[in-house]
Structure 1
Amino acid sequence: MFRKTTFLVMLSLLGSLTLSGCDGDTGGDRAQGVESTPPPASGTPPTTPPPTPLPPPSNGLIESGDITEDDTISTGITGVVIEQNLTLTFNLMVNGTTQIVDLGSSNAGFTLAKLVPNPGDSQGQSWTSYFIKSEDPICRSQADMDDTNNACTSFTEESDPELIDDTAKKVQSEFATGKSVLTQATSDSNGQFENNGDGTWNYTFPFQFADVATLTEVHRSCIQFSFNADVENICVDFVPAEVASATDGISGTSLSDTFYETHNARQIVTEETCNSCHGQLATHGGGRTRTDYCVTCHNPDTNDSNSGNSVDFKQLVHKIHFGRNLPNVVEGKPFTIWGYQNSEHDYSTTGFPQNIKNCGSCHAGNEDILFTQTQMIPEPSAKITEDGHSWVSNPTKQACSSCHEKLFVDNSTLDGDPLPGPNHPGFSDETNCTGCHVDDGAENPNDIQANQIHRDSYTEKALTYAMNIESVINTGPGESPVVTFNVTENGTPIDIKDTAIFDGKIRVGVAWDAASDFDNEGLVGFDALNIEIDAIAESILKAGSDNSFVLDMGLIPETIPEGQDSIAVLMLGHANGPNTTLTEFEDVSPIKSPIEFFASSEAAVTPRRSVVSIDKCNSCHNRFSMVEKGHVNFHAVPSGEPLVCASCHGASLGFDEYADFRYLIHGVHATDIREEPYRGEFSEDIHFPGDIANCDSCHIEGTTQLPLAFNTPIFTGITEQYTTPTAATCSSCHDSAEVQTHMISTGGAKFNEGYDLVQSTTESCALCHGPGEAADVEMVHKR
C-alpha cells in the first residue's frame, strides 16, 4: 500500500501540431514568419460550394479598400469557359447585396493544376501546377540581398554548386545547404479581370492551352481573395476537352452534379478533418483554408531551395506532424523550411498529440471502415473521402519517406534499427511500392500492408479491458470506504492477481470535496493527492463471486473528513507491454478510468462539476491518456476521464509551482502565448493547434462564465502561499505582470498570500467580465 506522491504530468499526448501561418500570431495553427503574400486557395471535391444567387438590380457598390473585418463576403465559381484562353466566372458580393467595383491582382490570386499519373511504376496520381517559379538560394547581386533581407556577405556568378562559397548563400545557416536553383509552384494574377456589373466577375488566364482537345486530365483552379474580411477559398475541377466542346460553362466541371460520378479528383484529406483539431486551418497568414487549394501549389516538384526540403503536401504535412520525432531531428538536424523573404520555419518541436500510427485520424476511405470493423478495432475518425484509402492501396516513396527518413538512406527503421529484408535505398520515386506492400484487404491482411503495420496495438489492447466499480460502503465522515470492483477482459471478469492473466497495475482511489472541485481538505502540496491503494496487492477476492474483489481503504490512516457533501471513488489502471520497465513505458495500454460519486455528510450526491468534454479532448488526442513516467511507475495511467485527473490535481496540490487541474491544463495548452512557459522542460514540445482564445475547443458550453462556481484558494506550490481562484485560472494563460496587476487592482485578486486571507477575499472580476458586461468572458473569447 502506498500514498500517491508523484505529479501527473500528462504531457506525452498533449503534444504539439502547429501548421504554420505567417501573420506573427502565437498559438493556434499560426506560427511566426510564414509567407504572408497572396498565393493559393482550396476546396474539397466533390462538395463544390454552390454559387451565391445573383443579387437584385438595386445592390450597392463598394471599393475593396473600404471593406472591413466586420463585413461578410460571399463568393462562388459559376462557370468555366475555354475559347482561346481559360476564363472563370465567379460571384463576389459584400453583405449580400453590395458589389465590389475594383477587383484586381492585389485582391485575388488564381492557381491552376492538373492531375497526372505518378512517374514510372509508382501508383497513384499527383497534382502539378501550370505556374512555376524558380528560387535561387544564392546571392547574385546586391539586389538579391535587398529584396530578400538576407545575410549575404558576398555575391557570385558561379553556377556550379560545388564551387559556390558559403558566404554567398542567402540564408547563413549550417542547415541551409542548398546552392542550386529549384522550382516552386505559384499562383497567377496577371490575367484579365472583367466586372460584369451584376455581382459577377470574369478572370481570363494569360495563356492559351496548346491543344484543348487532348487535355483529358482533371484540372483544378482555385481562387484566394485578399480583403480585410475573411473569404473562403473557392475551387472548381474540370476537364478542358469537355469544357471546350460543351461551351455551356457547366458541363465537364464540378459545377455539374454528375462530374464526380465519372471523374476522380484525388480526394484524400479534407479541411473538415483538419479542423477537428485545428479549429480553423489557416496557413500563410490565414488566406488559405482548404486542403484542395493547398495541393494545387504543394506539388511533388515544389521545393525549398535553401534547405533542399520538399514542400509537397504529403511530405510537408507528415513531417510537420512528426516534427520532433523525425530521425534527422533526433540526430540533430532540424526540419526547417525557409519561406517568404527567407523567413525561417523550424518544425523540429512540432508533433502529433496522439499515436502517430493513427493514420485514420487524418485520411480514410470506405475500405478503412471495413478493415476496422472486420478486425474489430476503433474506426478511423477522419472524414471518409473517395481516395482516403490511397495510403494503403497506393503507397509511394515520397509519402513514406516523409516519416521514414532513414529507410531509403541506410535501410533503417524509425528507431534506427537495421531493417531486415529488401534494400530500400535502391528504390526510387518511380518504384511501385505495392509490389511488396500489397493491399490484401480486410479479412486476411499481410504483415506489411500499410493499415496493418500502422495499427495502434497498445490502444487496441487497452480497449479489451474495463474496470468497474460494483459497490462502495462506509462513505460517511470519519469512515474508510470499502470498494467492491472487477476488471473484465473482453467482457469477462478476470483474476487480476494472476500475472499470467493480467500484467499491469490497478489502483483504487478516494477523493473528497467533490462539490468544491476536489479541494481534498486537510492535505496540501505533495500530499494533496487523492488517497489511493494498490488494488492488485491489497484487495481480496469476494467470496462466491466471479472475480469480484474487495478493497478496504482503511488500510491507510486517512478517513473522510467532516462536512463533505460527497466523495468520489475512482480507478486507474494499465496493462504493461513487453517492454515496460521502470525507465521504458511507451508500450503501456491505459484502461479507461471510471469515477463514481457517493453521498457523505449529506443525503444527496453532489458530483464534481464537469467543465470539459472528453469528446472534445479526443478530437485532437484520439483517446486521451496521460502516459508519463510518474503515472506508469508509481501508480497507474489515467485515461479517458477528466474528472479523474481533477481528483488528484485539486486546489491544494502543488510543488514548486501550481498543479491545480485548471492551472495545469490552461498552462500547458497556452505555452505559445505565456510569457513564462509553464513547466519549462515541456514547453518546446507543446503548441496548441487551434485558436487558444476559443474556450469552446475544450469546454462544455456555458462553463467558462464568471463568477466561478467555487471560492477555494489555489495552492501555488510554495509553502503557505495561495492565490484566489479566478486569478489563478485566468493567469494560467494571462501570466504577464501587467495583467496580474490589473487582476489585483481592479478585480481584488490575491497572489501568493496566506490561506486565510485568500479564502476571505471575494474577487470582483465578474463586474466587468461577467455575463452581459463590457468584457464578458464568453464574448472576449468568442470565435
Structure 2
Amino acid sequence: MMKRFNFNTTAKAVFSAGILSFALAGCGSDGKDGEDGPDAPYGVDIKSATTLKAKITHAAVTDGIVSVDFSLENANGIAVIGLEEFTDINTLGFGIAKLDALQKRTLVDTTAPDEPASRKGTKPTQWTSYINSVKTPNEAHIPEGFEALATEQIQASIETSCKTDCITMLSAGEYRYTFSKALSDYDQIDGLNTEYNPELVHRVTLELRPTSKTQNATLINTHFDFVPALDREATPEETRNLVNLQESCIRCHSDNYEHAWAPKLAMHGTKRTEIENCVVCHTTYSGDPETQATLDFGSMLHRIHQGTYVMAGYGGSVHDYTDVTFPAGDGCQSCHIQGEDAPAQADNFFYHRQEACASCHMAEFNPVDQKAWFTPPENQKDRGFVGNYFHYYATPEMDGVPGADVRSHFVAGDCSACHADDSNPMGAAKFHTAKATETINVRDAYAYEVSNGTYDADKGELTFALTWDKATLPHQDTSISSFYINIQAFDGVEFVMGPRPSSGPLGRNEGRISVDLTSVETNEYLTAAADGNTITYTLSGIGAPHTQIMDLKQGFIDGKLSVCAQAPDQTPESASLVDCATMAESNANFTVYVGSNKASFSEDGSDIAMRAMVASEAKCASCHEKQADFSESHSYKYAGAPDNSCRACHASEPNTAVKLADGSCVACHNGAPAHAIKAFDRGFDFKVLIHGLHADKRTGYYNPNKAKGDITFPNHYGDCAVCHDKGQLTMTNLGNKPAFAAADGEYSPTVAACASCHAPTAAGKEAAVQHFIANGGVYQGTAGEYVPGSESCATCHAEGKAYGIDKVHPVNYK
C-alpha cells in the first residue's frame, strides 16, 4: 500500500524553491544587472488636484524669446504633475510687459506729438505690453448712443493660445513656458514703442484655471518681475505696484470667486483677479473701439467708482457702470492707502497723467461733442484733446470736479501745481488730499473725551464732564457750528424708543435727549464750569416726557462735534479753520465731524454694560470709512432744530456720524411702536434697515432722488461675514429682545432680521413665512402676539450649528 505524504503550503514552497535552485545551478552566467530606470514622477495629477499653488521661480529672455520657469503644487506641498499633457486645460495664459516711459492713448483727431522727453514734471514709468493689436469697432456691438465715438483702438493682451504646446516639464511639479514668438515678432504698431531693452524691469504674468468652473482653490493668478540683463528678480523699489488688492479692494469687494452670481472681483470670465496681472493689459494706451472708453487701469477704476463708465466687452456685452454707488469718501486715500506697509509705489498717484486726470475732471466729455478742444486758441501750443482742456478751456462751472479751477494754475504760470517736480513733489495730489488731510488735522486738534455722567432723579439733572485741551471753550469757538451730546436711556438689553408724548423743553422723546453744548449761553437748562482741561456740564429739566430716562436712570452718552474748516483747492497748504458764519462764501469750506467715546450715565456715575455688539465696527468702517457721515440721509424729513420734538432723532446735526455698531444708530433705529407708521419692507429697525439696504430689498426711500436698485453692494449680500465677526451670530439672548412693530403688523426679533432679506413682503415668500411661524416666530402678527423667547430659530440656525447661519449662507470669514 502506497504511503501518502501531506505537504502544507509552506513546505511546498520550500521544496519547490530547492528544486528550482538545483535546476538553475546547471545554467551559465546571467550577465550584469541592468541600470534602474528613472523614477516615475511623484505627485498629484493636475486633473484631479483640488488645490493649486503656483510660483514663478525664474524668467529669461534669450534671443528675444521669453521663457518662464514655475512650480505647481497643492496646498499640502505635493508636486502637481501632468500639466504638459493636459491639452484640454481651460485657461493657461502668459503675459510679458516692460516698465518704460508712459505711452499715451491716441484720441481721434489728436495732432499733438507724444514725445516723453517733452513732458513736464515727474513721470513714473508705466507698463507696456509686448503683445498688442489694433481693434476695429464691431458695428453690431456698439452701444446705443456711442455710434459717433466708435473708432480703432490699441489693446494690450497676453498669450493664451499656445497653452500646453509651449510647456515643458523640467521635473515633477516644475515647468517651463516658452513664448511662441520672439518679442519682435509680435505685431508692431506705429507709434507704440515695444522695443526690447534688457536693462528695464520686465513682468511676466501667469493665469491658470484647470476647468471652466472657477474655484478659489484652483484659480491661479501670479506674476514675476525681473531684470533680464542682470538675470535676477526685481526689487519692490524697482517695479511698479500702487495698491494692495486685499487692503484697497477686497475690504469692500468679494474674493469668493467661485460663487455663481455674487458680485466679485474676478473678471474676464471669472479668471483674472490680481491687480499685478490686470495692469499688463490695462495699459495707458489701451482703449475700447466700440465706445472709445479708456482701458487704462487707474482711469477705468476712477470712472467705474464714479458711475461714469461704459464699455463694450467680449462678444459685445455692454458693461454699464453708471449705476454704481461708492460708499466711501471721494478722497484718493479711500483706495490709495499709504503708510509703512503700503506698496513701494503707493505715492505714485501724486503724479499726473492724461487718462487719470481726465477720468474725474473730464468724465462727462468726449472727443466728438467737445471736438473744438482739439484745436488750441490762436498762438497757443497744441497739447492734444486732454491737454488743451486743462490749459485753455476748463472752467469751474463745467469741470467734472465741481468748482475746480484747474486752468487758473496755467494762467498763473504754476506748472508744478499739476506737474510734480522738486518744488512740489505731490503735484496735483496736494489738492486731491487737502480735504482728507485737513480732516485728520481737525480731528486731532479737536479730540475730546466724555466722562461718565451722574443722574440725579430727584432734581432731574444729569452732570457729566468733557476733557477739552483747547484754550477756547466750545461755545466760544467760532469754528464750531454745533457740539451735540446725545443722551440715551438703556434697559440693559436693548434701546427702545417709546410713544411720543407732548414736547417738553428738551424734546419729546421718552428715552433720548440731544443737547448742543454751544448753546450754553442761551439754553436755560444747560450750564458749564471749566477747570483746567475739564469742563463740567449740568443738564436740568429732565422730567416728563423723558420717562425712560427717569425710570431707568441709566444709559449712554456720546458726542458729535461739527467743526468748520477749509481746504482751498488753489492753495491747499493754507488749509485752516474758518469762522462758521463764512461757510457759504467758498466751495473750499466744509464741515469736519469729530466723534467721541461711548460714556455711560447712572445714579452713581459707574459704568454700565454695553449693548451686545452684534456687528463689527471695523467692517463697517472698511467700506464707509471711520466716523462715517450719513447726514444727507437724515435731512429729508424734520431736518434742523434738533433740540425740538422729532428732530432729536431725525435731524442730521446730532446723529448720523461717528460709529455704526456700538448702539449709536440702534438708539433710534429700533423696533419701537413709534416706527409703526412704516411697512416692514421700509422698516427703520436697524437690522431690517441695514439688511434691506445692502440687499436692495427696500421698496422706497425718503430721499426723493433714490429708488429701489439705486444702492449697489459690492459684495455678496448673503455673506454675513461682510458685517459680522465670527461669534456674533450665536443668537444668544434673542429671547430678551423686543418685537418690531411695523405698519403691517408685529415681527419677532429673529424673524425681523431674516425676513428683511428672505421675505420683505409675504407675496411669493409663503414657504419662508410658514417656516418662521412653525418655529415660534411672528410675521405680520397682531400687537403683543410675540411672546419673548418663543422663537426656536437658534436651535438649528445659531452660528456653528448644523444649519447655522454660517452654514446656510455663503459666509466667508477671514
- Asked whether the equivalents of residues 209 and 220 of structure 2 are also in contact (C-alpha less than 8 Å), the reply is no
The one of 385, 391, 400 equivalent to 2:343 is 385
Alignment of 1:190-589 (within 5 A): 190-191=161-162, 192-196=166-170, 198-210=172-184, 214-227=197-210, 228=213, 229-230=215-216, 231-242=219-230, 251-252=231-232, 254=233, 259-260=234-235, 264-273=238-247, 274-280=249-255, 281-323=265-307, 334-357=308-331, 359-363=332-336, 383-392=341-350, 394-405=351-362, 409=389, 410-412=393-395, 413-417=399-403, 419=405, 421-422=407-408, 436-438=419-421, 440=423, 449-450=430-431, 453=434, 455-458=436-439, 460-474=441-455, 480-486=460-466, 488=468, 491-492=469-470, 494-498=472-476, 500=478, 502-513=480-491, 515-521=492-498, 530-537=512-519, 538=523, 539-543=525-529, 545=531, 547-554=535-542, 557-560=545-548, 564=552, 566-576=554-564, 587-589=590-592
**In the alignment, structure 1 residue 624 sits paired with structure 2 residue 627:** yes
Relative to structure 1, the CA distance from residue 296 to residue 716 in structure 2 (aligned partners, 3 Å threshold; closer, same or farther) is: farther
Identify the match of residue 749 of structure 1 among 750, 772, 777.
Answer: 777
Conserved? CA contact 2:483–2:559, under 8 Å: no
Change (3 A) 1:109 1:689: same
Deviations 1:207-261 (A, max 9, x none): 013499843221111111123432241111123334xxxxxxxx32x2xxxx317
SS in 2 for 1:391: helix
| Residue 699 to residue 553, structure 1, CA distance change in 2 (3 Å) | farther
SS in 1 for 2:277: helix
Gap change, CA 1:177 and 1:722, over 3 Å in 2 = farther
Which AA in structure 2 matches 1:75?
Answer: A
Q: Once the two structures are aligned, what percentage of the paired residues are identical?
A: 21
Q: Output one character per residue of 1:583-604: Cα deviation in whole Å (capped at 9) or x when no partner.
A: x999322120433234579998
Match of residue 734, structure 1, among 755, 758, 772: 758
TM-aligned CA deviation for residue 771 of structure 1: 4.2
Query: If the length of structure 2 is used for normalisation, what is the TM-score?
Result: 0.70
User: What are structure 1's unaligned runs of at least 5 residues?
Assistant: 1-55, 140-151, 153-169, 243-250, 324-333, 370-382
What are the residue-to-residue correspondences of 1:132-147 with 2, within 5 Å?
132-139=132-139
Matches of 1:221 and 1:440 in 2, distance apart?
A: 36
Gap change, CA 1:447 and 1:302, over 3 Å in 2:
closer
Separation in structure 1 between the aligned mates of residue 43 and residue 451 of structure 2, nearest angstrom: 69
Partner of 2:750: helix, strand, or coil? helix
- 1:23 aligns with none
Partner Cα distance (1:706, 1:465) in 2 = 39
1:560 is paired with a residue whose SS is helix
Alpha-carbon distance between aligned partners in 2 of 1:172 and 1:241, rounded to the nearest angstrom: 46
Paired amino acid for 2:562:
H
Q: Which residue of 32, 41, 57 corresponds with 1:78?
A: 57
Mapped to 1, the partners of 2:401 and 2:613 lie a distance apart of 40
> In 1, distance between residues paired with 2:472 and 2:518?
12
Greater mean deviation of Cα atoms: 222-231 or 626-635: 626-635
3-state SS, counterpart of residue 298 of structure 2: helix
Q: Which residue type is aligned with residue 363 of structure 1?
A: H
**Residues 128 and 434 of structure 1: is their aligned pair in 2 closer, same or farther, counting only changes over 3 Å?**
farther
- Indicate which of 759, 762, 781 corresponds to 2:790: 762
Taking structure 1 as reference, are residues 411 and 58 closer, same or farther at Cα in structure 2, changes over 3 Å only? Answer: same
Deviation at 1:87, TM superposition (A): 1.7
- Displacement of 1:548 in angstroms is 3.1
Could you tell me whether the CA contact under 8 Å between 2:484 and 2:654 is conserved in 1? yes
Q: How does 1:657-696 map to 2 (within 5 A)?
A: 657-671=682-696, 674=697, 681=706, 683-696=708-721
- Give the AA of the match of 2:200: E
| Bigger Rg, which one | 2
Q: Deviations over 1:155-177 (max 9, x none)?
A: xxxxxxxxxxxxxxx33411454
Please give the secondary structure, in 2, of the residue aligned with 1:260: coil
1:588 partner SS: strand
Matching residue of 2:18: none
Deviations 1:612-644 (A, max 9, x none): 332222222222323324367334244332321
Evaluate the alpha carbon distance shift between residue 740 and residue 355 of structure 1 in structure 2; reply closer, same or farther with a 3 A threshold. same
What is residue 99 of structure 1 aligned with on the other side?
81
Change over 3 Å in CA distance of 1:265–1:521 after alignment to 2: same
Tell me the residue number matched to 1:722.
746
Count of residue correspondences = 640
Aligned to 1:189: 160
Q: What secondary structure does 1:385 align onto?
A: coil
Amino acid in structure 2 at the alignment position of 1:503: S
The answer to whether the Cα contact below 8 Å between 2:685 and 2:740 also exists between their aligned partners in 1 is: yes
Which segments of 5 or more consecutive residues in structure 2 lack a partner in the other structure?
1-38, 104-115, 186-194, 256-264, 366-385, 503-507, 566-579, 641-650
Confirm or deny: 8 A CA contact 2:669 2:684 kept in the other structure.
Answer: yes
State whether residues 511 and 548 of structure 2, in contact with CA within 8 Å, keep that contact through their aligned partners in structure 1: no
State the SS of the aligned residue for 2:619: helix
CA distance in structure 2 between the partners assigned to 1:448 and 1:213 by the alignment? 33
Residue of structure 2 equivalent to 1:167: none
Matched, 1:174 2:133: no
**Letter in structure 1 aligned against 2:659:** E
Deviations along 1:239-295, one digit per CA (max 9) or x if unpaired, are 3334xxxxxxxx32x2xxxx317x721121121322233253433344222211110
Secondary structure (helix, strand or coil) at the match of 2:547 reads coil
Q: Contact 1:178/1:307 (CA < 8 Å) preserved in 2?
A: yes
The separation in 2 between residues aligned to 1:422 and 1:534, in whole angstroms, is 41
CA distance 1:575–1:748, change in 2 (3 Å): same
**What is the CA–CA distance in structure 2 between the aligned matches of 1:626 and 1:299, rounded to whole Å?**
35
CA distance in 2, matches of 1:561, 1:417: 47
CA shift in 2, pair 1:437/1:129, >3 Å: closer
Task: Give the distance between the partners of 1:502 and 1:87, measured in 2 at CA.
Answer: 64
SS in 1 for 2:664: helix
1:645 maps to which residue?
665
Task: Describe the shift of the 1:420–1:757 C-alpha distance in structure 2 as closer, same or farther (beyond 3 A).
Answer: closer
Residue of structure 2 aligned with 1:636, choices 640, 654, 666: 654
Question: Displacement, 1:401?
Answer: 1.6
Q: 1:524, CA displacement in angstroms?
A: 10
1:701 aligns with 2:726: yes
User: C-alpha offsets along residues 434-477 of structure 1, whole Å, 9 cap, x if unaligned?
Assistant: 775445469xx89984565454534543443245333422366x
**Cα separation, 1, equivalents of 2:545 and 2:301:** 53
Q: Name the aligned partner's letter for residue 360 of structure 1.
A: Q
Give 1:770 deviation, angstroms: 2.4
Q: Once the 2 structures are TM-superposed, how far is the Cα of residue 313 of structure 1 from its aligned partner?
A: 0.6
Say which SS state the counterpart of residue 693 (structure 2) adopts.
helix
Deviates further, 276-285 or 195-204: 276-285
Letter of the 1:188 partner, please give it. E
Whole-angstrom distance in 2 between the partners of 1:549 and 1:438: 52
- TM-score, normalised via structure 1 length: 0.72
Give the SS at the match of 1:75: strand
Aligned equivalents of 2:627, 2:146: Cα separation in 1: 36
Distance 1:420 1:602 in 2: 55
State which drifts further: 292-301 or 339-348. 339-348
Q: Which has the higher contact order (CA 8 A, sep 6+)?
A: 1
Query: Cα distance, 1:82 vs. partner?
Result: 3.4
Q: Map 1:10-21; keep pairs closer than 5 Å.
A: none
For residues 548 and 511 of structure 2, the distance between their equivalents in structure 1, rounded to whole angstroms, comes to: 14
Counterpart-to-counterpart distance in 2, 1:557 and 1:565: 14
Please tell me whether the aligned partners of residues 484 and 548 of structure 1 are also in contact (alpha carbons under 8 angstroms): yes
TM-aligned CA distance change 1:699 to 1:114, over 3 Å: same
